[in-house]
Amino acid sequence: MTNYPRWSRLPYAGEEYPPKNPEEPLAGTWPLIFLQRDNNGWFKGPLGDSIPKVIHPYKVNWKMELQDVQDTLENLTLERKLLAEYWGTGHVTKQWTPIIDRLIDTYTVFTTKIPPMSLTTPEAARILALTEAAIQDAGVVAWAIKYRYDVARPNQQDPNLVTYICTPRHPSYISGHAIVAGVASEVLSYFFPAERERLTILAEECAVARVYGGVHYPIDGTEGLRLGRAIAKSLTSFFATQVDALGNPVDEPFIEDKNAIIPPDGYPYQQAIPFDFISKCQSRVVEETLFSKITKNFLGLFGAK
């Protein structure tokens, strides 16, 4: 496509005017912790390596992307609805921070050595800090891309689209949830390589849940995941070069598989730290039926799998 629908020019479904309350439009210019800006308006890693770019919106068939979203919304299962709600609750850190905490707790004591080795307080702090710092940098990159390309949301292309969850007030491409999922899962896999498969599944689940909710196109998620993983690989290559005063590597990955029970631990997808958010949506969103509310409350009470 030589042209594509612009977020800043089209109203959301159910609204009369284009959005006038953009979420943090200058976040893409915020300071970075590990990444750096190059001389070409893009980003590079802490070792000077280039961060790959996303597919240009001109090369994307946004009508086909919209059709995928429309088809998805017409065929939502209860499980997909619960996934959309789970990953769409609060900010994306609400789901990934408890994952970090659970991994730290699970691997605090492991028994591959005698006497038993334990994840130490400094190690726990480092894992938490580096993962959250990676998330911050990925968020800055995502917001730079969002407002640079200004891609309209699905419910701006289709003014009759009724989304399952509320559409955020910032451009669609790329998905912030997906880039965070990509970077967080890869950084955590660097520290806990035995958990890589489970973390990868969660990252992909997080990305596709935004399509289930009707607020993102599939390519928002696939490109977000790809970029997040690339950022993480750049950062972990840098982390691996860091040594202590004796020249020993600071990081020693935990290779024993403790099979951590990582939130949300499957159906019915409950928050690790529940909070009663106040939800006020400006755009058109599905009205939940009484039956749906009763069903989800039942699942929450009895923990159906």
- In tens digits, the chain (305 residues) has pLDDT values of 669 999 999 999 999 999 999 999 999 999 999 999 999 999 999 999 999 999 999 999 999 999 999 999 999 999 999 999 999 999 999 999 999 999 999 999 655 555 556 788 999 999 999 999 999 999 999 999 999 999 999 999 999 999 999 999 999 999 999 999 999 999 999 999 999 999 999 999 999 999 999 999 999 999 999 999 999 999 999 999 999 999 999 999 998 899 999 999 988 899 999 999 988 899 999 987 656 666 666 666 555 44
Q: At what angle do helices 290-302 and 78-87 cross, to 10 degrees?
A: 80
In a domain, 264, yes or no: yes
> What is the domain range of residue 87?
7-302
In a domain, 70, yes or no: yes
Give the CATH number, domain containing residue 34.
Answer: 1.10.606.20
Sort residue 120 into left (φ over 0), alpha (ψ -120 to 50) or beta. beta
pTM as predicted: 0.93
163: three-class secondary structure by DSSP = strand
Closest alpha carbon to 119 in 132, 131, 104: 104
In a domain, 1, yes or no: no
Provide the 8-state DSSP code for 144. H
In a domain, 156, yes or no: yes
The total of structural domains in the chain comes to 1
Strand ranges, E, within 133-177: none
